[in-house]
Structure 1
Amino acid sequence: MERLAGKVMLLSGTRRALAAFLAGLIGVLALPPFGFFAALFVSFTLLVWLIDGASAVPQAGFPRRLAPAFRIGWFFGFGYFLGGLWWLGNALLVEADAFAWALPLAVFGLPAFLAFYYGLAAALARLLWSDGMGRIAALAFAFGAGEWLRGTLFTGFPWNAVGYGAMPVPLLMQSSGVVGIAAMNALAVLVFAAPALLGTRRGRVPGLSLAALLFAAHVAYGYYALNVVPAPQDGATVVRLVQPVIDQAMKLDDSARADIFERHLSLSAAAPEAGGKRPDVIVWPETSIPFILTDNPDALVRIAAVLEDDQMLIAGAVRTESAGSGKAPRYYNSIYAIDGRGQIVGAADKVHLVPFGEYMPFGEFFESLGVSAVAMPGGFSAAREHQILNAAGKGFYPLICYEAIFPSEITAAADGAAALLNVTNDAWFGNTPGPYQHFQQARLRAVERGLPLIRGANNGISAVVDVKGRVLSGLAYDVPGFVDATLPGRAGPEDRAKRQNWSFLIVLGVLFATAGISRIGFRNRVN
């Protein structure tokens, strides 16, 4: 291993850049639909050795001294994000005549931008670099901070954070319920980078022992949480998930609106399977109602004809609101709660909109160029806060589409909710890794917050997930139909978010202190 480490460290020029790119690309195998988490051991081991060799001219200025490490981190990130996010380009091909020109920006531009966070993480790690275990701690600290920034700056985009690679199955998800995804990002890098110590002699035994202990604790706690601690039960509320599997091109076809609506109604009216209880709540996916509902009172009559008096429908729709005299109306990506009499009894609007998809940053500038948001010409408006939807005596905390990838979107308002409710339309992306990655991240929110997840998706993956991340019932991708499931119970405590925030700060603090002490000792030895 020392010979291999030496060869990697001595790579230069194009070979060094290609090695970093391939290291990041290998890491994608840890993500859905593959879930091969061991790939990240290879990725981060190579990254450590590449940064080991990222030396600069001693007399160079501060930025130039960090440039070699930044370049390695950037190429690593570019490989990781290109391999993990290429499927975003599918959304632009739905209306290719209007948006195909932007395909290179989605497929290559976004990964190139996100790679800057990993470049900064590598540069920050290099500032604290030493030898032995110290440099592993430095890399873990830097990536933990970098992933936090990626999920926060410019409205954030924490998709495929490295911590998810350590949690492909429920056994390995339970730790996130204790420390949260932010701390898991740093701890995952600490473990995944530890094999790099096999290529050096200093710190090999304690470093590998610590990594093995952390991984063993990760697995052991997962086993304990799944097999010893019973999952909370509810047993009173039956939820039906309707998965119509409607092609996105059809959803954009005005002439198909009636057929789309009838398909949802037909699946909602179907009798339960033999011996099954009639559902209390029926869930339709994001933007499932294909017109402005308040402008179509006959649609509410049709819904009332399908529902029993004590049933409720929760459906995704576009909601409109007057902006005042002489102004264009505002549009919201929303969820309606409709009772058995066809009355709208509640609504919740999306808070965290997708840049360029649901609204245009610097809107006036792009409008002058004739460029509009992909999903909605003119763009949606954002709600100020999340609103609990009440149905069948339960409170549901709404997360529309990619809001489910943001732990920060689950605010204190969720404390009184019975479940998280994630409605989405991943038909934009086709049968690519995107829907599978989205589903995994939504499942982790259930584990983190101790709230079961109700997830309704147009073409999948729809499922009811318990607080341990286990799929109790669901429909696979591109399988039309419905599924009825009993809502599981919620777990406590309600202050999980606060505890997880403290865990993140403590983990970063320990890693920073370890890296800093090692750096001081390293400089003393060198000098």
Structure 2
Amino acid sequence: MIRLVDGFARASSAAGAPMRGPVGGPIDDPARAAGPGAVSAIQRLTGWRRLGLAWLAGALGALAMPPYGILPALAVSLAIAVWLQDGAVSGRTTLGRFRPCFLLGWAWGFGYLTAGLWWLGQAFLVEADEFLWALPLGVIGLPFALGLFYGAGFGAAGLLWGRGPARIAALAFGLGAAEWLRGHVFTGFPWNSLGMALAQNLWLMQGAAVIGLYGLTILAVLICAAPATLATGSHPRSRFGPSAAAAIVLVGMALYGAGRLGPPDPVVTGVRLRLVQPNLPQDAKFRPENRADIVDRYIELSQRPVEAGEPPPTHIVWPESAFPFLIQRDPDALARVAAGLKAGQHLITGAARAEEPLPGERLRYFNAVMVIGSDGVISDSYDKVHLVPFGEYLPAPLDAALRALGLRQFVAIPGGFSAGALAAKRILTVPGLPPTAATICYEAIFPGAILPAGPQSAGLILNVTNDAWFGDTPGPRQHLAQARLRAVEEGLPLVRDANTGISAVIDPHGRIVARTPLDQETWLDADLPARIIGGTLYGQFGDAAFALMLAACLGGAVMARRP
């Protein structure tokens, strides 16, 4: 990666004098290196035309995300962004570049996220009588706000912008930092980070075991933006060098990934999983008064006969929020669940949990995972730490005001869910299973946040979720792809059970061992793949490699601007 950035810097010096000068001083015009007339026309765009093309380019880039996986779409998108940025900095002082570059990046990010997250609108239609009015806030308002991160990224890149290929490193620095911030600020939302463009191919995704999602994001920008120089370089090295370097890195990643995969991973002896996918809709059928039918449905699917010659399941998994009632407070339902388990079997299920209040406090509810034995005892549980804003709770600054207007979060829990204590986030103990890192719903999309801090180790990642809110859209497929990458990063198998799908068992190299279709009532029996002995570099050092890559991009861009 450092060689790639160094190649950009060297090619930049061959292209002629780079942009430089004291802060606030004049800079050279990148349009001098313009090639074809179409590129020059893009560089000369101003005002709403520039922002409009940026929005369209960003929307095109979303085709590189799951389930489409069209990597060239991101290359075209970022090439256009580079040429638009050339025009945005042209003739401006160093500090004067930030504002036009910020607006350009915001428009690009707005388009990228609108096209990539439109499916969020489906959730507002589940209870349309109550939430339809807010649909524009989710489909347009969220991308509009999150686009500010991309604006900051483009703005930072603009301050480092030069005429030569090193401007690609500047863009990688800006967007890499922006994506990291988007994944951490205001509880974080790293959905469809640009690195996912490289994380859908089984060979290419193996790099995440070393550099993680954010490292893949920097490589995705360097690789996909490199072709922009084919039309703007004035010297063969500056014109073809970046694309050649990008191709070498891409091939190198593929070769590394192919070599890392090897034979199928071994399985954990004595463990046989059954993932139950009930396909329950988020409508009137999922009501407390229907508890008997809902429990019966789960039990019937859990007791379906196994295929000939296959062992019976030792562990049964039900999805997030499996019941529209508090099973811990319903002894009859809990007894029926226990009666549906064979001796020695254990159930791992999502369920709402209530905690008895102290005097003067209200009842607190948690989105939890529970372990239930055939004796009906709840032996362990985990409370979701990373809640969905507006979905599971209303953010504190707005809570009182919104409730005064009669509004609530999507999940119909009085007062919303409470977050589990971060300090208490721990490994779930399930008899017969390796130590289990439990995640609920979109907790599985946060790189580096799967395992608790400290010396505890895990043998698998469990993800229970309910994607029924989003129907047959890209949403559930994107969710699966991002959870799958956590398995590669941590070197752990992933067991994922979803109400409407897609449920899957994934080995620690990201290979999907078994999966279910979307929107189908079914079950899935599978062995549990074993973890990678010794773990991964990313699992040990987290985002340290990403930080080094970010620094290399910054250094390459700065060095190319020196006299």
Output the amino acid matched with 1:80: Y
Q: CA RMSD in A?
A: 1.7
Output the amino acid matched with 2:420: A
Corresponding residue number in structure 2 for 1:507: 549
Output the amino acid matched with 1:380: F
2:420 to 375, 378, 383: 383
Partners of 1:128 and 1:493 in 2: CA distance: 40
Partners of 1:58 and 1:206 in 2: CA distance: 28
Count of matched residue pairs = 518
- Contact 1:401–1:422 (CA under 8 A) maintained in structure 2: yes
Gap change, CA 1:230 and 1:144, over 3 Å in 2? same
Corresponding residue number in structure 1 for 2:436: 396
Stretch of structure 1 that moved more, 319-328 or 304-313: 319-328
Report how far residue 366 of structure 1 moved. Answer: 2.0
Stretch of structure 1 that moved more, 413-422 or 265-274: 413-422
Alignment of 1:76-155 (within 5 A): 76-155=108-187
Percent identity, please: 46
Partners of 1:195 and 1:132 in 2: CA distance: 13
Partners of 1:336 and 1:4 in 2: CA distance: 59
Alignment of 1:406-485 (within 5 A): 406-412=446-452, 415-485=456-526
Output the amino acid matched with 1:427: A
Output the amino acid matched with 1:345: S
Corresponding residue number in structure 1 for 2:272: 238
Unpaired segments ≥5 residues, structure 2 = 1-34
Corresponding residue SS for 2:419: coil
Corresponding residue number in structure 1 for 2:240: 205
Q: Deviations over 1:457-509 (max 9, x none)?
A: 00000000001111111101112110110000001434633434210111011
Corresponding residue number in structure 2 for 1:373: 409
Stretch of structure 1 that moved more, 459-468 or 28-37: 28-37
2:210 to 178, 187, 207: 178
Report how far residue 422 of structure 1 moved. Answer: 0.3
Partners of 2:214 and 2:460 in 1: CA distance: 22
Partners of 2:266 and 2:559 in 1: CA distance: 44
Partners of 1:243 and 1:384 in 2: CA distance: 29
Report how far residue 411 of structure 1 moved. Answer: 2.7
Gap change, CA 1:137 and 1:148, over 3 Å in 2? same
Q: Deviations over 1:109-131 (max 9, x none)?
A: 00000100111111110000002
Kindly indicate whether residue 107 of structure 2 is the aligned counterpart of residue 34 of structure 1. no
- Contact 1:251–1:257 (CA under 8 A) maintained in structure 2: no
Stretch of structure 1 that moved more, 267-276 or 203-212: 203-212
Report how far residue 57 of structure 1 moved. Answer: 6.5
Corresponding residue SS for 2:529: coil
Partners of 2:178 and 2:266 in 1: CA distance: 35
- Contact 2:267–2:527 (CA under 8 A) maintained in structure 1: no
Partners of 1:345 and 1:481 in 2: CA distance: 27
Corresponding residue SS for 1:193: helix
Q: Deviations over 1:166-190 (max 9, x none)?
A: 1213222111111111111111101
- Contact 1:235–1:488 (CA under 8 A) maintained in structure 2: no
- Contact 1:137–1:512 (CA under 8 A) maintained in structure 2: yes
Output the amino acid matched with 2:130: A
Report how far residue 367 of structure 1 moved. Answer: 2.0
Output the amino acid matched with 1:372: R
Report how far residue 206 of structure 1 moved. Answer: 2.6
Output the amino acid matched with 2:426: Q
Report the TM-score when normalising by structure 2: 0.89
Unpaired segments ≥5 residues, structure 1 = none
Output the amino acid matched with 1:278: P
Stretch of structure 1 that moved more, 474-483 or 366-375: 366-375
Partners of 2:494 and 2:337 in 1: CA distance: 25
Corresponding residue SS for 2:322: coil
- Contact 1:251–1:290 (CA under 8 A) maintained in structure 2: no
Report how far residue 409 of structure 1 moved. Answer: 2.1
Report the TM-score when normalising by structure 1: 0.95
Corresponding residue SS for 1:53: helix
Partners of 2:419 and 2:82 in 1: CA distance: 42
Output the amino acid matched with 1:384: A
Gap change, CA 1:128 and 1:229, over 3 Å in 2? farther
Corresponding residue SS for 1:407: coil
Gap change, CA 1:230 and 1:283, over 3 Å in 2? closer
Corresponding residue number in structure 2 for 1:165: 197
Report how far residue 415 of structure 1 moved. Answer: 4.8
Partners of 1:476 and 1:397 in 2: CA distance: 25
- Contact 1:446–1:469 (CA under 8 A) maintained in structure 2: yes
Q: Deviations over 1:264-309 (max 9, x none)?
A: 1110111111111111110000001221012211112111211112
